[in-house]
Structure formats: structure tokens, C-alpha cells
Amino acid sequence: MSLSLEVALPTVISSTTINTSSSVITIFAPPDDPFYKFKYYRQPPITLLQYHVAPTKLEQETLRSPAATPHGSKIDTFLPGHPLVVTTQHNSTEAAASINGVQITQWNIYNDGN
């Protein structure tokens, strides 16, 4: 996903931020392997990349908090009409945050402080 983001992220952000007032985003960047297993050998479509970008800052604590993001909450993405779904199981003190059934394993790879 890193090469895909490097190539396409300016397009994804510029085409979407024109329609929003948000200057902060969260990128959910899965490893490259899932993209290469399927038909996206070179570059995934822009819509797939838009689906992995949320126009808001989402911290680990927020996604693990049942008060802030209850199980089943929807998170808007840059792909209109296709939200991500919080699937964190909030039944333990060490709940691992997950989106669409996929556990988030790495946090804040880059944060510019906003």
C-alpha cells in the first residue's frame, strides 16, 4: 500500500478535501500483500484508496473506547457512501481496536502533530 499511497494520495486528498472542511486525516494502510493477491498488481483503483482514508483524526484510545466509538459505529471515508465499521469488542480492558473485522496492529506511524 505504501507505493500506492505515494503515487495516488495527492489525488485522493485533493479531490476529496475540496468538498470537506477537514485538514486532518487518518489513513488505514494495510500491508501490500492483500493488494497483490488479487487483481491489483500495479496500482489499486482510486476508490479503494479513498476507502482507506477517513477525514478525521482517529486515535487508538478513541477506537478502543466504547463511549466514543461503540461496536458498529460508522466512520466516514473519502469514498462517499462507504463508511468503515468499528468492530472493536469492548468487553475487555485491553480491547484491541478493529475496523471491518481487521485488528489494527500499528499506530501512529506518522503524526504531524495536528
pLDDT at 70 over 50: yes
Report how many domains make up the chain: 1
For residue 112, is it within any domain? no
pTM attached to this predicted model: 0.73
Residues β-bridged to residue 27: 53
Question: Average pLDDT of 62-88?
Answer: 92
Question: Average pLDDT of 10-32?
Answer: 68
Question: Range of 59's domain?
Answer: 2-103
pLDDT value, residue 61:
87
For residue 108, is it within any domain? no
